[in-house]
Homo-oligomer: A and B are copies of this chain.
């Protein structure tokens, strides 16, 4: 698997000639991850931005009560990283882990500046990508605050039925902000 998916994605948002595409390909590294493999662990400094060519990542952290709290899922054509750790070179408070067998393109932090200098349109590409990501994060906050647990499940299950198949229920429960037991009870009600 190669970086064609990434180049195609970038060309949806900005121009990129073949020379530039070659520069990009020289700056990213394709990595194959097995299910449950980590790209980042809490306490480590995040070293790259990850673009998902195929598969599914999750980011999560450990709460004070030793529970896993899932922050985000990322599927094909999404970027995932911890920007705070990446840009400030600080230890991260998050884990990034493959939910299923996954292929990513890694853009290492130490190659990013040179690449952006050589291909300035990438600044534009990431600006647009980040606008979308920020929007998604804000919509998430909106749903968390305006919907009950039951409603969040209905909304999510209705909006992403195919996605539900790819993740275990305990991860969905964590993402939606409640316990696996409660999700189980919601489903029991729904079926009857």
Contact = CB atoms under 8 A, between A and B. Distances in A.
A177 interface: yes
Contacts of A177: 144-145
Contact of A141 (B64, B131, B144): B144
A140 B139 CA distance: 13
B141 A61 contact: no
Interface centre among A63, A72, A126, A177 (most CB of B within 10 A): A126
A134 interface: yes
A156 interface: no
A71 B130 contact: no
Contacts of A29: none
A93 interface: yes
Interface in A127-154: 127-128, 130-135, 137-142, 144-146
Contacts of A87: 128, 131
A124 interface: yes
A140 B69 CA distance: 13
Interface centre among A61, A72, A130, A133 (most CB of B within 10 A): A130
A142 B64 contact: no
Contacts of A140: 141
Given A131-B87, A134-B130, A137-B138, A69 B145 contact: yes
Interface of A: 61, 63-64, 69, 71-72, 83-84, 87, 93, 116, 120, 123-124, 126-128, 130-135, 137-142, 144-146, 177
